[in-house]
Amino acid sequence: MPEKIFWAVGIATLASLIAGPFFIPLLRILKFGQSIRDEGPKSHLKKAGTPTIGGLIFLVGITVAVLIAAAKPISPVIWISLLAMLGFGLIGFLDDFIKVLRHRNLGLRAWQKLAAQLILALLLAFASVYLGRGTVVDFPFTSLKIDFGVLYYPLIVVLVLAVTNSVNLTDGLDGLAAGCTMFAAIGYLVITIAAVNYETASGGGTAADLPVFAGALAGGCLGFLRFNFYPARVFMGDCGSLALGGALGALAILSKTELILIIIGGVFVIETLSVIIQVISFKTTGKRVLRMAPLHHHFELGGWSEKKVVGVFWSASALCTLLGIGAYIGMFR
């Protein structure tokens, strides 16, 4: 297993580094440039025209790495994880493509996007349960387990829709979403290795080969940062952010750590809460709590440089990852 993980991380990183110089000029030729919202920070207007749909870079890297490094025959958990990632990536690609085609910042209609995500989330939940994951949910820091039965399915739908859209909201600064996802993937690499060892000792389970997928996810994000870190040469677009959210959701479900994802993805949670709080405050009082939502824009407008905001958020993501690993360890006490 250690060798497979090493190869997964290495191949995903290398494949993404190789794919970047191919996709970025191609996206420029096709004029797949990013449209910038007028109501956003004025400093972002200079980013208009930067190639988008760059998520294809790490999607290629991750897919190639997993298919090469995973044990043969490839296990169902790998196929489920890959299809979840690519399925959400396809939704994002269609959204991005419409934006580029119509030269606007809105792609798919909200209900179309939500409906597609809902269907994929349900398919992911049913496939995981069918595979043997069951409907029991473990609670972080404790040995408490609750069988949600049929209520497990709406729980998973909410979780998957939340994580995919949270990563999407976080993708507002160069390298922010990719870096935070990389730390989350490293956390799940540690957790899934522990899960595989536990299941091997107890017999059976659904975590086999998940460390390979987690490692490839981390490697793909690392390779992509070569082109996405400030000043970004390419943006991942919804194609990338929704795919990353789908990948994290699959890892959480198949490793039976759905609630720990809330901790490991703490930055994504805070970013989403900042938007919710801002909207509620403005709708009820007419006042804004933050200078701008999501939270990263609040600090930007407060005078922080983009690199400083990303660095602080990366540090917070690393801390959330450590806390999530601790929460997982606490479940076995």
Q: Reduced to 3 DSSP states, what percent helix, strand and coil does the chain have, rounded to the nearest 5?
A: 75, 0, 25
CA distance 314 to 176: 7
**Residue 238, annotated ligand binder?**
yes
DSSP assignment of 199-241, as one string? HHHHS--S-TTHHHHHHHHHHHHHHHHHHHSSSPS---HHHHH
CA distance 263 to 260: 5
Name beta bridge partners: 145: 138
User: By C-alpha distance, which of 124, 162, 189 is closest to 273?
Assistant: 162
Contact 259, 253 (CB under 8 A): no
Among 231, 226, 223, 225, smallest CA distance to 34 is for 231
- Measure Cα distances from 330 to 193, 200, 262, 318, 322 in Å: 16, 19, 15, 19, 12
Binding site listing for Mg(2+): 168, 238
Binding site listing: 168, 238
